[in-house]
């Protein structure tokens, strides 16, 4: 989860988020190189007193500053298209859950495993236990197994919502009357926090999302006990 004064991304807990962070670093490196080069050229032009009084047209320079940006855009576009393809890829999911956005809480269904439904509300401050997080913890967490392909179907019952877990690199709009889907794999056990990322009304900031990633054996035992 994001901590105080955190300026970067959350620690990745899925292959997709790892790729997004790699692409961010790749893009930032290219932008840094461009910025340094432009600043160097500007400082050089402003500080020297050299004048080429015969320079009227220079097709070579124009050719260079047309080709170089085109090559840079290719280096940005290819990894971006690859990640877009990976985001849409759903490869034989083992578990499918359905998330429904309401004003202002989430409800979940494990319909393909067993007929189990529950609502997930944010815990009020006066009900928080030691170690729980204010404005982030919920009364019913989503329990899912790690190292498992999971598909999530998302819709809304009233207005637009958005189901987002930053550490998984997933953000899907919840649209009334429409099912959107996505998939993710969790690399390790732990808690992952998210929130609604679409302004949906007065209590938009009070409908958090919490996923608890556990080993498959514990997940099976949890299913048996429910």
How many structural domains is the chain composed of? 2
- As a whole number, mean pLDDT of residues 57-73 equals 87
Q: Do the bridges between strand 142-145 and strand 208-214 make them parallel or antiparallel, or are there none, so unpaired?
A: parallel
User: What CATH number should be reported for the domain holding residue 155?
Assistant: 2.60.40.420
Q: What is the pLDDT of residues 173-226, one digit of tens each?
A: 999 999 999 999 999 999 999 999 999 889 998 999 999 999 999 988 888 887
Within this chain, do residues 172 and 198 fall inside the same structural domain, yes or no? yes
Q: What is the pLDDT of residues 144-168, one digit of tens each?
A: 999 999 999 999 998 999 999 999 9
Within this chain, do residues 82 and 106 fall inside the same structural domain, yes or no? no
Banded model confidence at residue 1, pLDDT cuts 50, 70, 90: low
Examine residue 28 and state whether it is found in any structural domain, yes or no.
Answer: yes
| Domain range enclosing 186 | 95-225
Examine residue 216 and state whether it is found in any structural domain, yes or no.
Answer: yes
Neighbours of 207 (CB within 10 A): 22
Within this chain, do residues 110 and 220 fall inside the same structural domain, yes or no? yes
CA pair distance 4, 187, nearest whole angstrom: 24
Within this chain, do residues 105 and 210 fall inside the same structural domain, yes or no? yes
Within this chain, do residues 84 and 99 fall inside the same structural domain, yes or no? no
Within this chain, do residues 68 and 106 fall inside the same structural domain, yes or no? no
Within this chain, do residues 107 and 22 fall inside the same structural domain, yes or no? no
- As a whole number, mean pLDDT of residues 87-94 equals 81
Question: Which of 172-195 are b and which e, b meaning 16 or more Cβ less than 10 Å from the residue's Cβ?
Answer: bbbbeeeebebbbbbbeeeebbbb
Within this chain, do residues 212 and 150 fall inside the same structural domain, yes or no? yes
| pTM of model > 0.85 | no
Examine residue 84 and state whether it is found in any structural domain, yes or no.
Answer: yes
Question: Which of 31-59 are b and which e, b meaning 16 or more Cβ less than 10 Å from the residue's Cβ?
Answer: eeeeeeeeeeeeeeeeeeeeeeeeeeeee
Residue 20: which residues within 8 A CB-CB, separation 6 or more?
9, 12, 83, 169
CA pair distance 213, 76, nearest whole angstrom: 33
Judge whether 220 and 152 are in contact, CB under 8 Å: no
């Amino acid at each position: 989860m994001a901590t105080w004064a955190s300026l970067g991304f959350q620690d990745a807990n899925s292959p997709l988020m790892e790729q997004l962070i790699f692409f961010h670093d790749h893009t930032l490196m290219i932008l840094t190189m461009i910025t340094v080069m432009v600043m160097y050229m500007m400082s050089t032009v402003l500080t020297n007193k050299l004048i080429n009084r015969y320079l009227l047209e220079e097709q070579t320079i124009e050719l260079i500053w047309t080709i170089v940006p085109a090559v840079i855009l290719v280096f940005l576009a290819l990894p971006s298209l690859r990640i877009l393809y990976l985001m849409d890829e759903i490869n034989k999911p083992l578990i499918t859950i359905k998330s429904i956005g309401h004003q202002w809480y989430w409800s979940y269904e494990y319909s393909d495993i067993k007929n189990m439904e529950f609502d997930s509300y944010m815990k009020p401050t006066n009900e928080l236990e030691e170690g729980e997080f204010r404005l982030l913890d919920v009364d019913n967490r989503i329990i899912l197994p790690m190292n498992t392909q999971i598909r999530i179907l998302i819709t809304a019952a009233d207005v637009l919502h958005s189901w987002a877990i930053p550490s998984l690199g997933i953000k899907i709009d919840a649209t009334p009357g429409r099912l959107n889907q996505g998939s993710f794999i969790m690399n390790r056990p732990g808690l992952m926090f998210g929130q609604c990322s679409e302004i949906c009304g007065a209590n938009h900031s009070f409908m958090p999302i919490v996923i608890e990633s556990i080993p498959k054996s514990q997940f099976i035992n949890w299913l048996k006990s429910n």
